[in-house]
Amino acid sequence: MNRHRVPFDGRFSIRDFSCDPPSGAPSKKELESDLDDLVDELDKLQQRLFADERFAVLTVFQAMDAAGKDSTIRKVFSGVNPAGFRVHAFGRPSELELRHDFLQRVVTRLPERGKIGIFNRSHYEEALVVRVHPQFLAAQHLPDVDLKRIWDERFESIRTFEQHLARNGTAVVKFWLNVSRKEQKKRFIRRIEEQEKNWKFRLGDLDDRGRWDDFQAAYESMLRATSRPWAPWYAIPADDKAYMRTAVARILVETLKELDPQFPKLDADHRRELTEGLMRLERE
C-alpha cells in the first residue's frame, strides 16, 4: 500500500500527514531521474490504455494556492502523448453552471475510454471553498439548505458518483497536495518578487490564506468522507516539489498498472492481413 494513501475507514487525521518528504527520501537528483523514468512509463501505459478501449482514468488535484497543482500536472504529463490526456481547470461556476446541480459541469468533462482526464480543482471545491465561504452556497439557487446536513449529503453524492464511474471503467485517483502555511508564504512572496510570476498573485489569495484553519478542517472532513477503495485520495507532501512530482507520477503509474490495459488481441483475419501486407511490400 502506498504510504500517502488516505485510509478508507473515515479515521483520517490531517496531523498524521506531513507537508515534508518522509525521512530517508531520495536526493533531488535521484528524484528527478526517477521522475524521468516514471514519465516514460506513464506514456507507455497510456498507449496501452488507448489501445485497450475499456478504461479511462480520472485524476483530481486539490490544494491550497501555490501548492504546485499546475507545475505538477505539467511535469508529470510532460512525456505523455498530448492526444491521450486532457486537463480541465475549474474556476468559479458560471451563471449557467449554477443553474445545474453541482456535478453537472464535471460530468461534461469526464474522460472517455482510452483517455486520462485531469481536473485542476474539481467538484471537491463544493465542499471546500463553498464550505468556508457560504456566500457561494447562497448563489446556488438551492431549494432547501440545512447547513448541518449539506456537507455530508454532498459527500454522499460524490461517493456514489465516483463509485458509478469506477463500476463503468473509469479509475478515479485523487491528489491533495499538502503544502504548509509557511511554505505558501514563501511561494507567495516569490510570486510578488519575480516579475514572471506576478500575474499569478492577486490580493484575494490572502483571504483564503487568512482562513487557513477553516480550510484545513474542510479538507480533513472531505478526505475522511471521500477516500474509498474505488476512488482513493493521496495526501502528498508538497513543500518539496521534486518529491511531490515523483510521488504523484509513481501513484499514477501504479494505478495504471493495476488496471493492466492490454493491446487488443488480433483475430485470424487481421493476422492474415499482416502476412499479406508483408508479402506485398516485399514484392514491390
What, of Mg ion, ligand AMP, none, does residue 121 touch, CB below 5 to 8 Å by kind? ligand AMP
In Å, what is the CA distance from 168 to each residue of 113, 191, 277?
10, 42, 37
Nearest distance from C-beta of residue 225 to Mg ion, angstroms: 25
Nearest distance from C-beta of residue 116 to Mg ion, angstroms: 23
Name residues contacting ligand AMP, limited to 117-136 (CB under 6 A): 121, 125-126, 129-130, 136
**CB nearer Mg ion, residue 65 or residue 240:** 65
DSSP string for residues in the chain: --TTBPPSSS---GGGS-SSPPTTPPPHHHHHHHHHHHHHHHHHHHHHHHHH-S-EEEEEEEESTTSSHHHHHHHHTTTS-GGGEEEEE--SPPHHHHTS-TTHHHHTTPPPTT-EEEEES-GGGGGTHHHH-HHHHHTT--S---TTTHHHHHHHHHHHHHHHHHHTTEEEEEEEEE--HHHHHHHHHHHHHSGGGGGG--TTHHHHHHTHHHHHHHHHHHHHHH-BTTB-EEEEE-SSHHHHHHHHHHHHHHHHHHH---PPPP-HHHHHHHHHHHHHHHH-
Nearest distance from C-beta of residue 200 to Mg ion, angstroms: 7
Query: How many amino acids of this chain bind ligand AMP (CB under 6 A)?
Result: 11
What, of ligand AMP, Mg ion, none, does residue 232 touch, CB below 5 to 8 Å by kind? none
Stretch that binds Mg ion, among 5-13, 61-69, 97-105, 109-117 (CB under 5 A): 61-69
**Pairwise CA distance, residues 134 & 132, whole Å:** 6
Name residues contacting ligand AMP, limited to 37-96 (CB under 6 A): 89-93
Nearest distance from C-beta of residue 124 to ligand AMP, angstroms: 9
**Pairwise CA distance, residues 164 & 231, whole Å:** 10
What, of ligand AMP, Mg ion, none, does residue 239 touch, CB below 5 to 8 Å by kind? none
**CB nearer ligand AMP, residue 93 or residue 261:** 93
**CB nearer ligand AMP, residue 28 or residue 92:** 92
Nearest distance from C-beta of residue 279 to ligand AMP, angstroms: 57
What, of Mg ion, ligand AMP, none, does residue 90 touch, CB below 5 to 8 Å by kind? ligand AMP
Closest chain position to ligand AMP (CB): 125
Assigned C-alpha cell, 233: 485520495
Name residues contacting Mg ion, limited to 246-265 (CB under 5 A): none
**CB nearer ligand AMP, residue 27 or residue 135:** 135
What, of ligand AMP, Mg ion, none, does residue 91 touch, CB below 5 to 8 Å by kind? ligand AMP
**CB nearer Mg ion, residue 109 or residue 200:** 200
Of 172, 158, 184, 161, whose CA–CA distance to 63 is shortest?
Answer: 184
Query: How many amino acids of this chain bind Mg ion (CB under 5 A)?
Result: 1
**Pairwise CA distance, residues 258 & 49, whole Å:** 12
Residue 113 binding ligand AMP, by CB under 6 A: no
Residues forming the site for ligand AMP (CB under 6 A): 89-93, 121, 125-126, 129-130, 136
Binding residues (CB under 5 A) for Mg ion: these are 65
